[in-house]
Structure 1
């Protein structure tokens, strides 16, 4: 994965991004919030150090809900990223927004207690009842 250019963008090309460092986390998420934000039965994210990611072109818009901010393209609506103020050093980019999504194989399932009953992913990846990334208690 370190040889892959860590680049991507939205559907229309107005928002582009790149990460100067390799990802630290690749995960599926089955939570209701991700499902509603993405419109898909399951989401997948590539986690990077926030200071390694830079955006070009149109600035993504943000929708904040408590400690969570989700960014998206204002022109085409494509979901771009997820950030959590409790984990300010990190950003999670939607795997589908990556230019080479096949290069980022998920290594965990998160929030499986909210997984839809008809979604079957027969892999041997670790399954977390809640988040695959612990949050500090507030």
Structure 2
């Protein structure tokens, strides 16, 4: 079984995910863009049970803008580490925090909100895939 270790910016919060991600891609929604302080967020979605906080669990802060996303960060450095998505039983571990993971994006989500067009041949979902509660509609590149 594959295991990938990561940490927050300062290294206080260390974590590990095991197995394979359920999905990898790019999110263009306003919420992810503002949280990541970038024009797009690279995500990797894992079953929540596959995430283990190895150290610094007492330093993990949590914020709920919505009940769909429980965003988590290190209280010491402010570095963002992951986001729980309880309705899907998945956790988004930010790709930048998993240096050993080979990033193989399969799609773009919330492309209707994009501020940085990316022409890479991957599907551009208007919002989310239908199986995740979205319209399933794709947009042209």
User: TM-score, normalised on structure 1?
Assistant: 0.86
Report what 1:17 is aligned to: 15
Q: Using CA pairs under 8 Å that are at least 6 residues apart, name the structure with larger relative contact order, 1 or 2.
A: 1
> What displacement does 1:122 show?
1.6
Report what 1:65 is aligned to: 65
Name the one with the larger strand percent: 2
**Unmatched 5+ residue regions in structure 2?**
135-141
Report what 1:53 is aligned to: 51
Report what 2:85 is aligned to: 84
**Unmatched 5+ residue regions in structure 1?**
none
Residue 120 (structure 1) aligned to one of 93, 117, 122: 117
CA contact (8 A) 2:44 2:94 kept: yes
Q: Quote the Cα distance in structure 2 between the aligned partners of 1:8 and 1:63.
A: 20
User: TM-score, normalised on structure 2?
Assistant: 0.84
Residue 28 (structure 1) aligned to one of 13, 26, 29: 26
Q: Quote the Cα distance in structure 2 between the aligned partners of 1:34 and 1:42.
A: 7
In the TM superposition, what whole-angstrom CA distance separates every residue of 1:51-74 from its partner, at most 9, and x where no partner exists? 011002112211112212101111
Compute the RMSD of aligned alpha carbons.
1.7
> What displacement does 1:27 show?
1.2
CA contact (8 A) 1:9 1:99 kept: no
Q: Quote the Cα distance in structure 1 between the aligned partners of 2:114 and 2:50.
A: 31
